[in-house]
Every structure is written in structure tokens, then in C-alpha cells.
Amino acid sequence: MKIVWSPAHLGHSGHVELGAGVIEPGFECPERLDFVLEAWRAAGLGPELAPAFHDLGVAGRVHAPDYVAFLGEAWNLWTAAGYAGPALPMVWPTHNLRADLRPEAIRALLGYYSFDGGASFVAGTWDAVAASYATALTGADLVSGGERVAFAACRPPGHHAGRKTAGGYCYLNNAACAAERLRDRGAARVAVLDVDFHHGNGTQEIFWERSDVFFASLHGDPRTEYPFFLGAADEIGAGAGEGFNLNLPMRAGSGFEVWGAALDAACRRIAEVGVDALVVSLGLDTFEGDPISHFRLRREDYPKIGARLSALGLPTLFVLEGGYAVADLGVNALGVLTGFEGA
């Protein structure tokens, strides 16, 4: 197995998020990838690759082109307006406000192109985002080029990023872009399986009306868990995509007995739909020690996840998403990957 990662992720450091009544350092931090790489090297699982150059063509089809352009210029607009410190949105065009009216002020643009206060910008954010995107596409190219499995160690993550909104630490949707790349390179249909604790709302939105990408998500019940406003079981897709969206929400406190049954259900559905490749949004915040999530998976459960995914017999790309028990992140990621390889 090969891992793809970029040191450009370090530029996305010192960012903040709007939490429960406070602005605080982001739980999504550079140290997360340090622990993943440490575990990878200790396991000797395979070579490390730098991402190849990829232009923004795929991103401009998965996302709205104006949104992609904004991500690239947000920090410069912020500093040109005379602001210091991380750029964080303060107002959103919701409910009775006009979402069709694109503002000019950077303070308003930050809200226009986001859905929460969890994706701030610092000087190195865009370089990290672009490198994370290239990491995912390079991983997709490995899989489409004949590798059975690859690991795109993306940072920042991506699954909350919608067609034209950032949020939840996410800017470009790496898994969605990887699925699009696999389609470009010959896969008739791709499955994206999101195993992060939090619903992959961005990925769902992007593929909502498409049948060439099947999306399944195992996540905390949106009645009590972020992102709250998407992820219910009755959301099945629309138009050509009707029946190609599967949500499996679970209550807080669920352990592997419940979670593993949901994984089995998702895998059965993927097999029924018939796909040529699998992208796994690999969130490890299902771990019992995660500080902001509420499932109860244990370290010994993660190799079982990898083995179950391996049993699908599909070319598979793992794309790193969440996981905030930082010191345990690498061990749990490697549990999934070695479980996949061992099976």
C-alpha cells in the first residue's frame, strides 16, 4: 500500500473555530498527521509519495467555480481589508435572507461561502487545501492505475465541504473530487462510503442527483449531532440520484455491535448497486476517546472495519477525514489499513 501526503498541510496552522460560545483553536490540528505518519512508518506498510500536480479542473466541476476561486483569494482579501488574525465568518444568508445576492465585502463573503464557523483561513490555508486536494487525486490515480488500495492522508479534511460552502474544517471535498477523478478515468460508477462520526453533508449534496456515484454515510443522529441539518435516514437522493444515497444514523453512545451492523448494511447496498471503485471517507472520530464525538468504538474494532471493506473486492482509496483523539489517530488509521491488507 502507498500513502500520499504533503508537508504543505503545515501551513494550515493557528486557525480557529467558533465553538459553543467561544472562539477556540481548531480541534483539526497539524499534529493529527504527525501521528498518522509515525504509525505508518512504524508499521512499514509501504512507500510515502508526494502528491502529483493537479489543476483545479476536477474541483471546478465538483464545486461551483466561483467558490473554488474564492478559496484561493480569501486570505488576500482579508488582509487587504486591513484585518488581522484568522478569517472567520460572522453572518450567513439563511432563512429570510437572500442567498442569491453575492456580496463584495470579505466579512460577508466568508459567510456567503460557508455554513458554519468551523473553517477559518490563515496565511497557509489555501496552499494546504490545494495540496490536500492533489493528495486525494493522486491517490485516485494510483487506484485507477492498478493499485488495489491506496491511502490519501489529506489535511485539511473535506467531507463537509458542499458545492459552494466550507464548514466543519473542510474546504474542498477531497473524497468527492477523488470519486469524480475515478469516473474520469473509466469507472462507470463509484461508491463513496463515509465512516466519519459526522455526516458527510457536503458529499451528499454534491452527488444528490447523480446515479454514477453512490453515497453511504454512517454517522451520529442529526437530531443531536453535528452537522444537525442533514443526514436523516429518509434522505435517499433525488432525480437520477434517487435511491443512490444511504444514510445510517445512530444514537450517541453506539458501540461496534450497532455500528458494525450498519457497516454491513452499507456494504451490502454497495454490492447490490454495483460499482467499479470505492472511496472511503476515513474518519476515525468514532473512537471512544474522541473529544468531540460520541460513538464507542475501541482500538480492536478498526481492523475489523478494514477486513469488511476488503471483502467487497473493490479497488479502494482511503481518504483521511476526522479524528480528534490525536494521539490515537495513527494507531486507529493503521488498524483499518492493516485490517484491509491482512484480509
Per this entry, what is the length of the chain?
A: 343
Between CA 13 and CA 45 the distance in angstroms is 28
Q: Annotated catalytic residue: which of 159, 160, 199, 294? A: 160
Cα-atom radius of gyration of the chain, to the nearest Å?
18
In order of 178, 179, 257, the CA distances from 278 in angstroms are: 10, 8, 24
Burial 317-328 (b: 16+ CB within 10 A, else e): bbbbbbbbbbeb
CA torsion angle 125 200 292 310 (round to 10): -100
User: What's the CA angle centered on 48, arms 316 and 39, to 5 degrees?
Assistant: 85
Question: How many Å separate Cα 273 from the centre of its chain?
Answer: 22
Is 160 assigned a catalytic role?
yes
Query: Is residue 103 reached through a cis peptide bond, with omega within 30 degrees of 0 on the bond before it?
Result: no
Residues identified as active-site:
160
